[in-house]
């Protein structure tokens, strides 16, 4: 069925008083808009669903959410009565329709005889990941679009291991979802009756405390080892982080922390920030303003569902230096290993995990402590998905991270967690301050000791059908004509992950290694209309590395942007 026919089908099926019908009526005659909304079904991948909110098969709405939930319910029912009894945990972020979609999701599971656990309000994504394993549920669902703009929402699916579903489970879910009739194939229970019947349970607040206890157990140094008067500013960017993050700061004894009040409460329009991504330095505007007022040495931010975490650190002149995800990762890897060693808690069988597009400097740091750094595909379903392998091989998981400001410090929270990352970064800042050092001092010491790297992770945004097709052509052209020299440096090795590589599964990623230890990679985003690049140059100084990185980036961008 073509997009025009699908549009007309929705018009015929929906009641005229339905807001979705009214939305479709408003785009009548706009062929480009109709095509974008109906040219495909919203794809259910290993990250679940994510897209703009609105009417259409390629949009987030109650029908596409209902269809996805019914398909997952059908899979769980097929797993048997025990799986249904284990149930599903459901959480949501502050976005438009997130709470409504979460309740709809619970009612669909209940209608299929599957126990549903929900929270009374928004919660961090990592808390959902933690509760799944603690309750022993078969699955988990989070209604969130993470750091995307306000007109997006999403649907993340987890399995019993507490990780986002891998491709094996996602493929089974996709098959079931595609078999569901969008309009007539979804069962929905009455919410109040389902609560009365015990099929929907609102989780008590004790799970908030258990989640924070898990995070606070990761602390390495306490008491007199820390300068708890260090001035800190935190912003939840109008997301789910306000309560857990500020509670954590109080629990850990910090005496001079400040929250950006304009961004403390949930706001689905993210009025004070626009694009609520802590990777974007513009998101720190209000935090910087407050930081200068209170003399803060550390600024911290979490995204709307509190899984991403980023920082800015004070320069000697009082301005703030934004750290990219790799740099924060260097500090965390160094602090965890140095701290555990000084406390006599560094295991002989320690292991860490990073993604294949994350800087290799962290590998150098880890190996200097006798810790093995493993690699995985991007995404924490893959990073934390390594934990069972480590356990089977008698290795102790210490930390996992990727360059896109995601960090996982607990083996019991198998997703990136901005709250635990914040706890460890604040502790590191307080620990080093006690020694008369700043985090900037520590970062420079890392470069001095292990080598000078420059990191750059730019992307090209190409929206819509044409954008997706152009991204495909960019990848195909690059594969067909692999560069042999970049910025005067020989390409010594190319890894194409399209068919997998060693124990890394197949993925649409190309990675190029240069003769001097620099390298770069390119891949399409799995959740956003972007083609993403990762450049890591190595040189005799930080400045020289940055200059080299720019040359490599400019040459690659000049080539790939010629692909139309």
What is the C-alpha to C-alpha distance for residues 141 and 553, in angstroms, rounded to an integer? 38
The shares of helix, strand and coil residues in the chain, as percent rounded to the nearest 5, are 45, 20, 35
What is the C-alpha to C-alpha distance for residues 63 and 57, in angstroms, rounded to an integer? 8
What is the C-alpha to C-alpha distance for residues 323 and 498, in angstroms, rounded to an integer? 31
What is the C-alpha to C-alpha distance for residues 58 and 61, in angstroms, rounded to an integer? 9
In Å, how far are 98, 329, 426, 511, 536 from 446, measured between CA atoms? Answer: 42, 11, 18, 25, 16
β-pairing, 200-202 with 116-118? parallel
- Maximum CA extent, the chain: 70
CA atoms within 13 A on the CB side of 222: 9
Q: Which of 146, 264, 359, 360 is catalytic?
A: 146
What is the C-alpha to C-alpha distance for residues 329 and 307, in angstroms, rounded to an integer? 15
What is the C-alpha to C-alpha distance for residues 560 and 552, in angstroms, rounded to an integer? 12
Can you read off the two tokens belonging to residue 556? 């690659």
In Å, how far are 60, 97, 383, 398 from 56, measured between CA atoms? Answer: 8, 16, 33, 44
What is the C-alpha to C-alpha distance for residues 425 and 336, in angstroms, rounded to an integer? 10
What is the C-alpha to C-alpha distance for residues 341 and 335, in angstroms, rounded to an integer? 10
Contact 365, 446 (CB under 8 A): yes
3-state secondary structure 408-444: ECCCCCCCCCHHHHHHHHHHHHHHHHHCCCCHHHHHH
Contact 114, 73 (CB under 8 A): yes
Task: Determine whether 146 is an active site residue.
Answer: yes
Active-site residue list: 146
């Amino acid at each position: 069925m073509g997009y025009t026919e699908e549009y007309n089908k929705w018009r015929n099926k929906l009641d005229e008083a339905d807001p979705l019908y009214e939305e479709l009526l408003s785009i009548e005659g706009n062929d480009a808009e109709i095509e974008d909304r109906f040219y495909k079904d919203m794809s259910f991948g290993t990250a679940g669903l994510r897209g703009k909110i609105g009417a259409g098969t390629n949009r987030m709405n109650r029908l596409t959410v209902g269809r996805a939930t019914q398909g997952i319910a059908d899979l769980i029912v097929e797993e048997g009565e025990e799986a249904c009894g284990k149930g599903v945990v459901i959480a949501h972020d502050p976005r438009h329709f997130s709470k409504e979609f979460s309740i709809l999701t619970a009612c669909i599971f209940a209608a299929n005889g599957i126990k549903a656990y929900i929270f009374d309000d928004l919660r961090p994504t990592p808390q959902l990941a933690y509760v799944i394993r603690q309750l022993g549920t078969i699955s988990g669902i989070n209604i969130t679009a993470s750091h995307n703009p306000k007109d997006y929402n999403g649907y993340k699916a987890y399995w019993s291991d507490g990780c986002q579903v891998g491709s094996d489970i996602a493929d089974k879910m996709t098959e079931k979802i595609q078999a569901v009739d969008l309009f007539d194939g979804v069962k929905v229970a009455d919410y109040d009756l389902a609560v009365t019947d015990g099929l929907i349970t609102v989780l008590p607040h004790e799970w908030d405390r258990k989640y924070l206890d898990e995070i606070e157990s990761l602390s390495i140094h306490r008491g007199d080892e820390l300068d708890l008067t260090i001035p800190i500013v935190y912003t939840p960017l109008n997301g789910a982080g306000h309560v857990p993050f500020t509670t954590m700061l109080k629990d850990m004894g910090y005496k001079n922390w400040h929250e950006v009040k304009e961004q403390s409460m949930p706001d689905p329009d993210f009025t004070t920030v626009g694009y609520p991504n802590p990777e974007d330095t513009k998101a720190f505007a209000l935090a910087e303003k407050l930081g200068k007022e209170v003399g803060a040495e550390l600024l911290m931010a979490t995204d709307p569902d509190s899984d991403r975490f980023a920082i800015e650190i004070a320069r000697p002149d009082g301005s703030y230096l934004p750290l990219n995800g790799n740099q924060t990762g260097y500090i965390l890897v160094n602090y965890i290993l140095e701290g555990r060693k000084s406390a006599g808690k560094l295991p002989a069988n320690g292991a860490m995990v990073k993604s294949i597009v994350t800087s290799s400097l962290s590998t150098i740091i880890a190996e200097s402590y006798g810790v093995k750094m493993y690699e995985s595909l991007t995404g924490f379903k893959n990073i934390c998905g390594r934990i069972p392998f480590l356990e089977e091989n008698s290795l102790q998981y210490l930390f996992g991270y990727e360059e896109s400001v995601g960090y996982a410090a607990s083996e019991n929270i198998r997703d990136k967690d901005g709250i635990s990352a914040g706890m460890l970064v604040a502790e590191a800042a307080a620990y080093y301050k006690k020694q008369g050092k700043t985090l900037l001092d520590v970062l420079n010491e890392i470069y001095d000791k292990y080598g000078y790297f420059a990191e750059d992770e730019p992307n090209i945004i190409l929206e819509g059908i044409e954008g997706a097709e152009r991204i495909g052509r960019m990848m195909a052209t690059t594969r067909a004509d692999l560069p042999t020299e970049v910025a005067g440096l020989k390409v010594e090795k190319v890894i194409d992950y399209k068919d997998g590589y060693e124990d890394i599964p197949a993925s649409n990623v190309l990675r190029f290694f240069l003769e001097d230890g620099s390298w770069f990679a390119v891949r399409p985003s799995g959740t956003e209309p972007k083609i993403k690049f990762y450049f890591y140059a190595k040189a005799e100084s930080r400045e020289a590395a940055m200059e080299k990185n720019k040359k490599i980036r400019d040459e690659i961008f000049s080539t790939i942007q010629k692909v139309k």
